[in-house]
């Protein structure tokens, strides 16, 4: 096993790829699905990204073709750190040639942040039947077409003592 892809779940994890710094076959395609607890977010950090003819991509959700593309690197790149809007992401790594000169290191963990990005015609209900995580920092982003007005109406809103809301 060369560690090329797989399903990973839990509260945190680490991928140092490739496991053995050796030559890869032409056009290898590795896909990792990373999942943390429901209603949580994943914080990812890439470092030591270095390869000349290969690429790595991060997508939201559980599809390697349909989820929103969050990050893409072809060749040498700086590090990447982000808290994603879902509890599941896909990491896709593809080789183009056999000359292998690097790889990547990925650390990920369940984030204490919460929130999501919504379109202008959405309805936000959170935390559904779940409580907010302890020390949560929640950000909801609402995007709309240019020159439109967003009406924000709070139908029910509860805060614990010491919590606050900024709009």
Which carries the bigger pLDDT value, residue 110 or residue 64?
110
Give residue 17's pLDDT band: very low, low, confident or very high (50, 70, 90). confident
Domain count for the chain, please give it: 2
Q: What is the CATH classification number for the domain harbouring 71?
A: 2.60.120.290
Task: Tell me what pLDDT residue 149 has.
Answer: 82
- On whether both 17 and 94 belong to a single domain, the answer is yes
Between strands 69-74 and 104-111, the pairing is unpaired
Residue 1 domain-assigned (yes or no): no
From 73, 92, 111, the end of a domain falls on 111
Which carries the bigger pLDDT value, residue 121 or residue 147?
147
Chain-centroid distance of CA 136 in Å reads 18
- On whether both 44 and 80 belong to a single domain, the answer is yes
Q: Which domain holds residue 127?
A: 112-167
Residue 14 tokens, joined:
């680490």
Residue 103 domain-assigned (yes or no): yes
Residue 91 domain-assigned (yes or no): yes
Task: Tell me what pLDDT residue 138 has.
Answer: 72
- On whether both 38 and 116 belong to a single domain, the answer is no
Task: Tell me what pLDDT residue 61 has.
Answer: 75
- On whether both 76 and 36 belong to a single domain, the answer is yes
Q: What share of the chain is helix, strand, coil (3-state, %, to 5)?
A: 0, 45, 55
Residues 6+ apart with CB under 8 A from 28: 4, 93, 94, 95
- On whether both 79 and 160 belong to a single domain, the answer is no
CA atoms in the 13 A half-sphere facing the CB of 9:
9
- On whether both 105 and 27 belong to a single domain, the answer is yes
Task: Tell me what pLDDT residue 26 has.
Answer: 66
């Amino acid at each position: 096993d060369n560690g090329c892809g797989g399903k990973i779940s839990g509260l945190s994890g680490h991928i140092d790829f490739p496991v053995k710094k050796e030559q890869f076959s032409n056009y290898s395609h590795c896909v990792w699905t990373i999942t943390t607890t429901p209603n949580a977010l994943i914080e990812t950090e890439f470092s030591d990204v270095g390869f000349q003819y290969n690429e790595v991509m991060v997508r939201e959700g559980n599809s390697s073709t349909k989820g929103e593309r969050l990050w893409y690197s072809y060749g040498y790149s700086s590090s990447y750190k982000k808290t994603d809007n879902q509890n599941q992401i896909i990491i896709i790594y593809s080789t183009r040639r056999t000359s292998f000169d690097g790889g990547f290191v990925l650390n990920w963990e369940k984030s204490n942040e919460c929130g999501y990005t919504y379109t202008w015609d959405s309805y936000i209900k959170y935390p559904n039947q779940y409580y907010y995580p302890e020390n949560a920092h929640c950000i909801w982003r609402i995007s709309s077409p240019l020159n439109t007005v967003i009406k924000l109406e709070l139908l029910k809103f509860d805060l614990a003592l010491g919590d606050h809301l900024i709009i």
